[in-house]
Amino acid sequence: MTASNSWGKTVVYTALILCLISFLLTIHAGYEYYSNNTDDKILEKTKVDAYNKASVVLENISSELNSTSLLTEGIAKELRSGELKNDSIIRQHILDKMKGNPNIYSIVIAYSPEYYGKLHSLHFKKNGSNILDSPILYDYTNNSEETTTWYNNAIKKKCGVWDQPYFGIADGTYLIDYSTPFYLAEFKNGSEVAGVVCASRSIEGIRTQIGSLDLGNTGYGFIFSEEGLIVSYPVQYYLLRNIHKLAKEDTELNLISENISKNMTGRVVENDRTGQSSWVFYKNILSTDWILGTALPQEEILLNKDIEQDRSIIQVMLLTFAFLFFLSLLFVSIFSYDDRSLWLLALVFSSLCILGMGIIWHFTLNESSIEVDENDNIVVFDMVDIETVMLKSDTNPKAFRIPTGVFIQSIEFSTSNDITMTGYVWQNISGLSAEKASPRFSFPESKESTVEKAYVDEDKNIVGWRFTTILRQQFDYSRYPFDEENIWIKFWNNTSEESVLIPDFDSYDSLAPEKLLGLENSLVLEGWKPQKTFFSYRINSYNTNFGVKDFKHKNLPELYFNVAIKRDLKSPFVSDLLPIIVVVILLFVVLLITTREEEKNQFGFKSSGVLTYCASLFFVLIVSHASLRAKIPTNCMIYLEYFYLILYLAILAVSLNSIVFASHINIPFIDTKDNLYMKVLYWPIIAGFLLMITLLNFY
């Protein structure tokens, strides 16, 4: 066997092994992607996770409700057994029970009028840290009053019952009652009901547990009764109101109530007004007629997984490309092993690398502009989202909400980090005189701003202000020319009373971010394209109270209006990418004329000529590079700068190659076949480095 045949078989076997390995890895990566990273799989995993979390909360709620019913039933049994013989013993016993149960707001023991011959009751209720003892003064046996349902329902059903929740005016909180009848041996031989024991507990504890569910930034939980009474919901104004009536006013509630009426669970509901969709499912709470539901924001869930999906796709792509290259190597090593086969392999490898770069660029250009970024943007689309944010940031639910709208008429980049904006801001000034009203907002991040009153709508208590502001913001240009930025206006509340700024959603025709709410249709933004606009909150904290004693400066939800923009590629392609493409092609042409063969030396190859050409190309790159740095002033390396660095090295390599090739130094790698290997490797090396840099910069 000759050395050449042995070497050829080694290449064939090696290519075959690499081909099989890359094929198996591609199949495995593809299977892993379709098993774990498709949208359906991600949603299914999230649903199961949310379902498990909801089950834990459900068990806790059921346990707390069960403890209330057991407490009430226990008192009824103690009355029947004779352990609680008189009012004095009962009073001490109930006081001990209430001290050990912080969620119990009141306990009532109401006797039947037939037992004492008159109304007689013991009523214990909390007043702050104290427990007051005061009998009920109204006729609790009157079944025509709603306030007596706790007594009459238990008498009628002769068993323990949960009553509909209500707002306790005296307690200033939402309550729910569990009442059960009790029997006494001395009253008609214990055969008839002698009275009712009723315990009231707070719903706020249940709402807090629902709010603790980890369902993303704007996912939320809720509780409804079978009749449609809202027991727990992020919007406190809706509590104890009927969902079916509110559904006529609230699109989100309408979608949820439709699902309940159709007994559907685990279905995606789409809100046409906001352009968002949620996954809603329900579970029944044992021992009550309540339904616990959860709503998962589908877009938010998928956005959080987009990068992982793209990485998995790119992994499959790279393994597929590796398989195709090794397959080409296998065919070449079997059927042809000459100079043309080397050029073919170089073409295949370079083409795959360039295709890979194109795919990565495609992913980058199609990335969504709404995401939870390093600034912890929490995007909101309706009042449910807002109240969910407020609940998670421990904002006082009674704080006054100030609806605030914004309309941007112009945006201009005065420098790479300074933006001039003009437009209108309007606010609801309920309780104030429109003529004397001043803005309840300010732009804390502006270098300079002017705000002047523009219009007044006294019927709706709306005052609009025209503003001009210069904002300085730090943008990330590291992905230029495939960068996208988020321009924002941060609003601070100027009022002294406890209040929060909220978006005035009712003032917009559509809340879908793609509809560019609050943005002038004919907006001119040179070099950029608006993609989406949206309101968001960021939970900020400050290390000072700004001299205001009661100012909340930790976990403070602050309102932002965002304009997501992407760079228009036309200008960067002509001014930056096109010169690079031309130079890299010309440099290859310079390399091609490096030859010692007279019949090919039509251009009169000399190393001095090559150096001259390379110097000219280097000068072109330097000018283009300097122009880029002047246009995009930043402290970090820009993605496109790596292209220049690679070309600088390529120019140096081609120059050194021409010098060595023209000299009498014997280097087989350069001298073999008239500098063939350097020419063949030019594009694979350039394309391979560019692909690697693209991967490192984007993923």
| Segment among 49-53, 444-448, 508-512, 579-583 with least mean pLDDT | 49-53
Q: Would the pLDDT of 170 be above 70?
A: no
Closest alpha carbon to 192 in 85, 112, 72, 108: 112
pLDDT the model gives residue 1: 40
For residues 430 and 562, state if they share a domain: yes
Per-residue confidence at 639, pLDDT binned at 50, 70, 90? very high
* Total of domains in the chain: 3
Query: Among residues 391, 387, 378, which one has the least CA distance to residue 534?
Result: 378
Q: Both 383 and 359 in a single domain? A: no
Give yes or no for residue 373 having a pLDDT over 60. Answer: no
* Range of the structural domain that residue 524 is part of: 378-568
> Average pLDDT of 471-495?
88
Question: Could you tell me if 360 and 271 lie in one domain?
Answer: no
Q: Are residues 158 and 245 in the same domain?
A: yes
Which one is predicted more confidently, 562 or 279? Answer: 562
Range 471-477 average pLDDT:
87
Q: How confident is the model at residue 409 (pLDDT cuts 50, 70, 90)?
A: very high
Residue 308: predicted pLDDT = 73
Residue that finishes a domain, picked among 285, 300, 315:
300
- Do residues 358 and 262 both lie within one domain? no
**What CATH number does the domain containing 62 carry?**
3.30.450.20
Q: Residue 607 — very low, low, confident or very high, per pLDDT cuts 50/70/90? A: low
Residue type, position 64, single letter: E
pLDDT at 633 over 80: no
User: What residues does 420 pair with on adjacent strands?
Assistant: 412, 470
Q: Is residue 382, in this structure, part of any structural domain at all? A: yes
**Measured distance between the N- and C-terminal CA atoms of the chain, rounded to whole angstroms:** 48
CATH number at residue 469: 2.70.170.10
Confidence of residue 349 (pLDDT cuts 50, 70, 90): very high
Do residues 43 and 166 both lie within one domain? yes
Select the more confidently predicted residue: 369 or 398. Answer: 398
- Per-residue pLDDT of 648-686, as tens digits, reads 999 999 888 888 877 767 777 676 777 788 889 999 999
Residue 548 and residue 444 in one domain: yes
Tell me, yes or no, whether 88 and 204 share the same domain.
yes
Residue 4 belongs to some domain of the structure: no
Q: Which percentage of the chain shows pLDDT scores above 70?
A: 88
Strand partners for 464? 426, 455
Asked whether residue 368 carries a pLDDT value surpassing 60, the answer given is: no
Do 494 and 607 lie in one domain? The reply is no
Instruction: Please indicate, yes or no, whether residues 278 and 200 belong to a single structural domain of this protein.
Output: yes
Structural domain contains residue 620: yes
pLDDT at 360 over 70: yes
Q: How far apart are CA 246 and CA 603, in angstroms?
A: 84
Residues 150, 26: one domain?
yes
- Contact in structure between 315 and 363 (CB atoms under 8 Å): no
Check whether 367 has a pLDDT greater than 80. no
CB hemisphere CA count around 65 (13 angstroms): 25
Percentage with pLDDT > 90 across the chain: 24
At 342 the three-state DSSP class reads helix
Range in 104-108, 249-253, 557-561 the model is least confident about:
249-253
Distance in angstroms (rounded) separating the CA atoms of residues 293 and 296: 10
pTM above 0.85, yes or no: no
Report yes or no on 286 lying in a domain.
yes
pLDDT mean over 469-496: 87
What pLDDT sits at residue 271?
80
- Tokens 């009532």 belong to 108
Q: How far apart are CA 620 and CA 579, in angstroms?
A: 8
Which has more pLDDT, 288 or 326?
A: 326
C-alpha of 386 from chain center: 14
Domain annotation covers residue 322: no
Has residue 409 been placed in a domain?
Answer: yes
Mean pLDDT of the chain: 83
Strands (E), 235-356: 267-271, 276-284, 290-297
Looking at the structure, tell me whether residues 533 and 625 fall in a common domain.
Answer: no
Q: What are phi and psi of 622, to 5 degrees?
A: -60, -45
Residue 229 lies in a domain: yes
Query: Between 426 and 391, where is the model more confident?
Result: 426
End of a domain among 518, 553, 568?
A: 568
Q: Give the separation between CA 609 and CA 548, rounded to whole angstroms.
A: 75
Task: Kindly state whether residue 8 falls inside one of the protein's structural domains.
Answer: no
Q: Is the pLDDT of residue 693 over 90?
A: yes
Q: If we measure between CA atoms, which residue out of 412, 416, 364 comes closest to residue 635?
A: 416
Question: Could you say which of 568, 594, 615 is where a domain stops?
Answer: 568
